[in-house]
Structure 1
């Protein structure tokens, strides 16, 4: 079984047999730098587990500027939940920042396994709870932490982003200008 799938799907209620079933429904896929996994307006039909590379989520603001909403790194689940689960057009774009290897599972296969494997349902509940917590924490960080603190947190939690992602994308993710990010990097 693919190691990163085993890492992502770890839960005490998932047996080795369950993990093998899950793995059998994933397909290895690759995206080259700048290729889109999902474009704004499309309806997501799958999600991915990132084996290597970096993917970013972004939207266009009212002036058509790209605003990075998320970075996905190794072992992250690359997903736009609202589009996948509600079957609505995505407001976000998912784009490879660098060449990526991912493991894709279709919505239909996910649903089948979700209903069949009790441990997978429990894993999903825990994963979604963590995502809600993370989103809430990120919105609190924007209000309660300085730009420097947010940058240092990103540097600590996902250093590969600092090393591999263009500054303009990092700055928009942090909610600051490119020049502010350059100043912060000089001061640190």
Structure 2
């Protein structure tokens, strides 16, 4: 089922409005391992995920890739700064599994933004939710143990645990693969 009505939920959006929004998107199938955006490229649009799992990552000064986020069903894969500021991307966006997405280019997004009542408010609400998510993650990296962060991820996003390689989960949690293996073994023993 298309993620459009879920992603673009807003009280001002009628079924007809959602059809117009949906019509501005193009259904695409993305093979596992495909890059939707690479560091240094200019983002030209974004992807609404119907199925599959996508990872965003950046390279540290030593060339190690560090997972920034995972994007799954009914979420948006976007590099906001590149798309809206027109600058080269600082991160990579890659499909971890085969994905089905609905793509919208920047120009079509702008048309919706300027012609659909409530679209600006929807965008502001979406951006606020993303800021809240980033803030929560930043605080949890300081105030929670790695074990607690893993347990939270396991409870809130089991699809990440099931579909993402452990090295990507470890970097997302800010720990080494070895530490993650130890945490998983402890959880397995205690049944947490």
The answer to whether structure 1 residue 144 and structure 2 residue 143 are counterparts is: yes
| Number of residue pairs the alignment of both structures matches | 187
1:44 is matched with 43
Match of 1:179 in 2: 178
Find the counterpart in structure 2 of residue 63 from structure 1: 62
With normalisation by structure 2, the TM-score equals: 0.95
Q: Provide the residue aligned with 1:85 in structure 2.
A: 84
SS of residue paired to 1:11:
coil
Q: Which string of whole-angstrom CA distances, capped at 9 and with x for unpartnered residues, describes residues 122-180 of structure 1? A: 11111111111111111000000100111111111110110111100000000000000
Aligned to 1:162: 161
SS in 1 for 2:16: helix
What whole-Å deviation, never above 9, does each CA across 1:64-122 have from its counterpart, x for those lacking one? 01100000010010001000000100000000101111000011000110111122111
Structure 1 gaps of 5+ residues are none
Structure 1 runs (4+) deviating above 6 angstroms are none
Local SS of the residue matching 1:29:
strand
Distance in 2, Cα, partners of 1:127 & 1:136: 14
Instruction: Return the TM-score normalized by structure 1.
Output: 0.97
Corresponding residue for residue 113 of structure 1: 112
**Distance (Å, rounded) in 2 between the aligned partners of 1:101 and 1:4:** 10
Q: CA RMSD in A?
A: 0.8
